[in-house]
Structure 1
Amino acid sequence: MKWLSVILLNCLCCFLQAQENNIPYIDALHQQRIETNRKGMWVLSGWGVVNMGSGIIGALSTTNTEVKAFHTMNALWGVVNTGIGVLGLVRAKKEKGLSFSDTGKYKAYKNTKKLYAINGGLDLLYMGTGAFLSGRANRAKNPARNRGYGNSLIVQGAGLLLFDVSMYLSHQKQQRYWKTAPELAVTENGIGMVYSF
């Protein structure tokens, strides 16, 4: 019984020390994820503002139907991207004040990467749709407008793909650190530390 008490006390001390050392580590990774997203949302908002401004100026300064359609679509994408960027900035600010468990922090990290991966797939879809519109423009009622919209979708999809891939890779750099972070597992049989490899 004495040996069992010593072993349990030793395990408890090791566990508490691991938890003490681990909390700042996971907190730092979590804050880094939030900061990476915040910086990314500034970039997305900037991209949106540039597209709104250049799109409005371009659409108003031409009579060419294809060029007008291209700039009009860019301006509309700019509105959407700026809105998403601003909402992302608000979310990042809100997340800094929220309390997450270590498991919640890791789950938020995985969900962030998943979001950028899904968005990257959508970006390819935008580009494919743009290529389809441009390629079949001569069969449409208004070929010039379809080419303009199609070309805008290709440009916007490519810009967003670059953004989403960059954001995914920025978060992916943390993966090796998350994998070494231990997790606490509580079951009906006891408490243990789980390490993912």
Structure 2
Amino acid sequence: MKWLYVLLLSCWCCSLQAQQNATLTIDDLHQQRIETNRKGMWVLTGWGVVYMGSGIIGAISTKNTEVKAFHTMNALWGVVNTGIGVLGLLRAKKEKGLSFSDAGKYKAYKNVKKLYAINGGLDLLYIGTGIFLRVRANHAKNPARNRGYGNSLIVQGAGLLLFDATLYLSHQKQHRYWKKAAPEFAVTENGIGMVYQF
């Protein structure tokens, strides 16, 4: 009997969630996009700060060439990720105060998904470059340094791939709500068009 109550409660909660999502407006979806990006930029900034700090400490505290290269590259990635995260936070703050048309809100939603998809491709490139540096390390002038750089690229690329994929999927799950919230637009994966009903 207890399991039946749990099942009914779960169905009721899912039903409430579906009803809530079914009534989302274009403005609600636009604000969700901004808030999702804002949270993501906090994660990226935190990731950057952690790797910047640990990279600097790790590079200073070792004489091992491979470990020093690994931490040095991590610190550099930390600087870049922190910078991107801070710029993203500033952009999210600015976007909250800007006025968008409904078509502009949808275009911003599509553009952010495209951005995370492109970033995911770049992340795979970083991982591939890291693997290449490791495999070819013995043919380099400084094999230990190449292995260290390669390891860092693999770690950073994998972390960023997880980050970009998570944000892409977070935005993608809103697609069906855009269709419901904006019936006057033909919302497709290829673009926006006006729908006129006779």
TM bucket (normalised to shorter chain) is: 0.7 to 0.9
Aligned residue in 2 for 1:55: 55
Counterpart amino acid of residue 146 in structure 2: N
Gaps of 5+ in 2: 1-23, 187-192
Once the two structures are superposed, residues 15-63 of structure 1 have per-residue CA deviations (whole angstroms, 9 ceiling, x without a partner) of: xxxxxxxxx7000000000000000000000000000011001001100
Aligned to 2:104: 104
Larger radius of gyration: 1
TM-score (norm 2): 0.81
Note the aligned Cα RMSD (angstroms).
1.8
Contact 1:102 1:183 in 2 (8 A): no
AA partner of residue 175 (structure 1): H
Q: Return the alpha-carbon distance in structure 2 between the equivalents of residues 124 and 182 of structure 1.
A: 37
**Which structure has greater strand proportion?**
1
TM-score in terms of structure 1 length: 0.82
**Shift of residue 124 of structure 1?**
0.1
- In structure 1, C-alpha distance between the alignment counterparts of 2:100 and 2:113, rounded to whole Å: 18
Query: Cα distance, 1:193 vs. partner?
Result: 6.2
Residue matched to 1:66:
66
Question: CA offsets, 1:56-95, max 9 Å, x none?
Answer: 0100110000000000000000000000000000000000
Q: Which amino acid aligns with 2:118?
A: I
Counterparts of 2:109 and 2:194, CA distance in 1: 20
Aligned pairs for 1:168-179 within 5 A: 168-179=168-179
Query: Is the CA contact 1:140–1:146 (under 8 Å) kept in the aligned structure 2?
Result: yes
Write the distance in 2 (CA, Å) between the matches of 1:123 and 1:193.
36
Consecutive aligned runs of 4 or more in structure 1 exceeding 4 Å deviation: none
The offset of 1:165, in angstroms, is: 0.2
Structure 1 gap ranges (5+): 1-23, 186-191
